[in-house]
Chains A and B, each alone.
Chain A
């Protein structure tokens, strides 16, 4: 089976750095996604990691350790608009569907 775990809520201060962790147990591995979802809106793609290590995209970075079944999303120089849910997801392994298995999402509140 597959399971994705992430904290349900986090709070951080504008201008600070926050790290959102995600652990996964999958029968195989086919990469890990992070999506951002503002309330009432569609999830939008942030990152996709297949290899170990850190990938940086502007203020957002994503890290993967396949041996530990662990990923994190790092948000720097937080802005109020970063208040959103951050969804960790893994494609289902085997077959060609690539359906995504999601965690519950982490609701990040950025405070002034």
Chain B
């Protein structure tokens, strides 16, 4: 596709359930990022992938959060045993090697009831 896509666009879940969020980066972009945007706050970095490896996971808020990337393409962010404070928009971005600009997807709005 022409841009970064994410699915689902909206997800409502009950506290304690697991959720999976998907990101399809721009084809050929080796770098992939996950950010979180809570209501009224700035974007927070979660995790960075270079290829299929994640050399920087420093932003993951707890061990309930994990992510993987396969085929140097699709990435999945998994949140286990969701809590209400996990409610946020989760944004994915990709970047081409040698370039600085990150291209963002439309995000997944997660609501934990």
| Complex interface: chain A residues within 8 A of B103 (CB) | 45
B1 within 8 A of A: no
In the bound assembly, the distance between CA atoms of A87 and B55 in angstroms comes to 26
A42 pairs with B33, CB closer than 8 A: no
- Among A33, A95, A102, the most chain B Cβ lie within 10 Å of the Cβ of A102
B106 nearest in chain A by CB position? A42
Nearest Cβ on chain A to B97's Cβ, whole angstroms: 10
| Complex interface: chain B residues within 8 A of A44 (CB) | 104
Nearest Cβ on chain B to A51's Cβ, whole angstroms: 13
B91 within 8 A of A: yes
Binds A, one of B42-50, B66-74, B76-84: B42-50
| Complex interface: chain A residues within 8 A of B91 (CB) | 42-43
Interface size for chain A: under 10, 10 to 19, 20 to 34, or 35 or more residues? 20 to 34
Known contacts: A41-B106, A42-B4. The answer to whether A48 contacts B100 by CB under 8 A is yes
Known contacts: A97-B56, A99-B33. The answer to whether A91 contacts B100 by CB under 8 A is yes
Encode contact with B along A65-98: 1 for CB under 8 Å, 0 otherwise.
Answer: 0000000000000000000000101011001111
- A17-69 residues with Cβ-Cβ distance < 8 A to B are 31, 33, 35, 40-45, 48
In the bound assembly, the distance between CA atoms of A45 and B101 in angstroms comes to 7
- Supply 17 further A-B pairs (C-beta < 8 A) apart from A98-B95, A99-B56, A105-B42: A40-B106, A42-B3, A42-B4, A42-B106, A42-B107, A45-B102, A45-B103, A48-B100, A97-B50, A97-B56, A99-B33, A99-B59, A100-B45, A102-B43, A104-B40, A104-B41, A104-B42
A–B pairs, 13, beta carbons within 8 Å: A4-B42, A42-B3, A42-B106, A42-B107, A43-B104, A48-B101, A95-B56, A97-B55, A98-B31, A99-B56, A99-B59, A101-B45, A102-B42
